[in-house]
Structure 1
Amino acid sequence: MTWLITGGAGYIGSHVVREMAGRESVVVLDDLSTGRAERLPQDVPLVVGSVLDGGLLERVLAEYAVTGIVHLAGKKQVAESVARPLHYYRENVEGLRVLLDAAAAAGVPRFLFSSSASVYGMPDVDLVTEETPCRPLSPYGETKLAGERMVAAAGSAHGMATASLRYFNVAGAASAELADEGVFNLVPMVFERLTGNEAPRVFGDDYPTPDGTCVRDYIHVEDIASAHVEAARRLERDPAARLVLNVGTGKGASVTEMIDVILDVTGRTGLAPVTEARRPGDPARVVASADAIRRELDWSARHDVRAMVESAWAGWCLRHGLPVPA
């Protein structure tokens, strides 16, 4: 059994690789546009290239006798997708089509797709289930929804067991060197402000939530990785699988609650947050229902918010020359 993991040198991908490599034979395909080779274990083969290269895919699938694919490669920044929609459709949709075409031609029987809670848009529900209508608000979200549908259709047509995992707000790191290097989400955005001795910013405190700030479902990247392992095992056992599952904790944390934890972990409690105007398009609450993944995969998240923040802070300190917490 050999799994090809596309985008395996990236933030989430490197965690998935390390989790799966201890149980399965793994090979990584990554163009290294955002990934880093040094994230990977030394005994995991790395092929540098793009999923848009059908000839390369054909050779890799044959050379490594690939029997399953975990597809994490792609572009993922919402704002960038609005500015460059055609680029996102090329990378995320056409790239997936080329990969599925190669997988079908090679007779690969299993395909696991990295999706996103962005497919839901602004759901007006207490808990987002897999049956909540999908109304993505950005080209990024649109490409993920199109990807899910393409994966399901290819699975039905070519006899592949398939699963699409819809991640919610990913944070944390298994170790400092694997931490997220982007500054696009709440946790690193607050770290950046604190490092510059600036107060964290809260965008709107008048939402219909208990403390007036937005509520999100934050999930540790190690839990994301373990969910991949369980999904891969399910695809191995069930050749008729057609799964679409949320990956979240089922619990929400507000922006204010998250900032309080961050200030405590970093020791910067003197920098009280400042409130600014709402950002357009921010829903008040987006929290996963985790019932389906618990039922289908016997999986649930193990890490809490503090563990996410502590591990993310260690990674931030390592990259910015600050003392790394013990």
Structure 2
Amino acid sequence: MCDLLDKKKLEKIVTNLNPYAIVHLAAQSTVNENINKKIYNQDNVVATRNILNLMSKLKIKNIIFSSTAAIYDKKNNKIKETDKKKPISSYGKSKLRAENQLKRNKKINFVILRFFNVSSCLTNPLIGEYHNPETHLIPISVFKAMKNSTINLFGNDYPTPDGTCIRDYIHVKDICSVIKRSIRFFSKEKNLIINIGNGRGISNKIIVQNIQKILKKKLKVKFLLRRIGDHPSLVCDITKAKKTLNWRPQNSNVKKIIKDEIKWANYLIKKNLIRKFINVQK
């Protein structure tokens, strides 16, 4: 493990591994515009350039790159890979620049996976996300619900049925399965760009309602102003993923996502890590 900006350590690790393909998942991923834009450029653009330069040096031909739905323009319909790219967040802009670096490099083969909202945890072994601070809706809502704390939702005046943002949530188990299929793709074709989600959208408000039902608790919800950089709706068209990779999500039912997230939350509570994970507000 190393900082991708540390070229020497990165080269040492990759040289020792001598991989058939590199799976590049590391990124600065929050859409919070309060974060210094230079951080997005360093973590998402420069780090990717370092990997590509190293691949050329070591003659590694294949890379799987995790991109994002945040590169797309606003749209009410399901998003296809060919739709207009117009990111509104610094995060989305940096990931689009990283994508373009891959496309310009004619010496490598790439699969660009444009992930929508990756969620939940692996359960065997138990491995979950651990951000400091946490910004993702499902984990922070589950943890706050279990601590009887107020859940903050950003915006209730979006042009959606209940006024809250709509997102396409996909279980991390399904992410693992599509990465495995993507590695096999290199034996057939060279380059692929594909959307990865479950193909169904669900609003922030309904997410919280599902957490409430599963935990059987009355939750306290506070609506805040919209967060700069958030799209009203991001829902994935997975037709190409089904056709090209013969893949479809198997674990991305919202109730399963939440139930597995609760297992992870219970683990953090048991290890006394939850207060480091979120800023609990009563």
Pick one of 80, 94, 114 that aligns with 1:166: 114
Superposed CA RMSD in Å reads 2.0
What is the identity percentage for the equivalent residue pairs of Structure 1 and Structure 2? 27
Counterparts of 2:136 and 2:55, CA distance in 1: 33
TM, length-normalised to structure 1: 0.76
| Superimposed CA distance per residue, residues 247-305 of structure 1 (whole angstroms, 9 cap, x where no aligned partner) | 1111011112211111122221x225344443344332110111111111111111211
Pick from 84, 87, 93 the counterpart of residue 136 of structure 1: 87
Q: Which residue, 55, 58, 63 being the options, matches 1:103? A: 55
CA shift at 1:98, angstroms? 1.4
Residue matched to 1:62: 15
Structure 1 residues 101-123: Cα deviation after superposition (integer angstroms, max 9, x where no partner): 11011111111111111112x51
Counterpart among 201, 210, 217 of residue 261 in structure 1: 210
Question: Secondary structure in 2 aligned to 1:115?
Answer: strand
Alignment of structure 1 residues 32-47 onto 2, 5 Å: none
Give the Cα–Cα distance (whole angstroms) in 2 for the partners of residues 255 and 57 of structure 1.
Answer: 39
TM-score normalised to structure 2 length = 0.87
Aligned pair count?
A: 267
**Which digits, 9 at most, give the CA deviation of each residue in 1:26-50, with x for residues without a partner?**
xxxx3xxxxxxxxxxxxxxxxxx22
What amino acid sits opposite 2:92 in the alignment? G
3-state SS, counterpart of residue 205 of structure 1: coil
> Unaligned 5+ residue runs, structure 2?
272-282
CA shift, 1:133, in A, is: 1.2
Could you say if the C-alpha distance between residues 281 and 99 of structure 1 is closer, same or farther in structure 2, counting changes exceeding 3 Å?
closer
Question: What secondary structure sits across from 1:78 in the alignment?
Answer: coil
**CA deviation after TM superposition for structure 1 residue 173, in Å:** 1.0
**1:299 pairs with 2:252:** no
Distance 1:199 1:163, change over 3 A: same
Partners in 2 of 1:52 and 1:285 — Cα distance?
33
Runs ≥4 residues deviating over 6 A? none
> Structure 1, unaligned stretches of length 5 or more?
1-29, 31-48
Q: Find out whether 1:178 has 2:127 as its counterpart.
A: yes
Change (3 A) 1:51 1:284: closer
Distance change (3 Å), C-alpha of 1:278 and 1:93: closer
Q: Which residue of 2 aligns with 1:318?
A: 267
Cα contact 1:128–1:288 (8 A) shared by 2: yes
